[in-house]
Amino acid sequence: MKDQSYNYSTFSPHPKEFEDFAKDAPKATERAPSVPLEDLDTGAMVAMKDLWKTDVALIEFGSFT
């Protein structure tokens, strides 16, 4: 089921997200989880772990806004 609140239409600050990031997100020295992603240019599905299969992966998350 889609979480409508994830794609909010109105921005409001969520400072607790940063606390959760520090405490609950994966930590340095842990194994990075892999998630399927869509390549924008080709439309192909990519497993996130392919990014670090042979190289060091430098991954930025973000959006246009």
Partner 1 sequence: MAAEEMEDLASRYADRAVRSAFIYTREAHPGENYRHHTSMDDKRANARAFQEHSGIKRQILLDDLDGTAHHTYGQVPNMTWIIGRGGFILYKAAWTGARDVESGLLQALDFQENRVQNKWLPFYSERAAFSYRDMSKFKEGLERAGPQAVSDFAGPSAQQRTAAETDPEAIPSVPGNFFKPGTD
- Contacting positions for partner 1 (CB under 8 A): 2-3, 6-15, 17-22, 24-41, 46, 48-49, 51-65
CB of 6 to partner 1, least distance (A): 5
What three-state secondary structure class fits 22? Answer: helix
CB of 9 to partner 1, least distance (A): 5
Locate 60 and state its tokens. 């930025």
CB of 43 to partner 1, least distance (A): 9
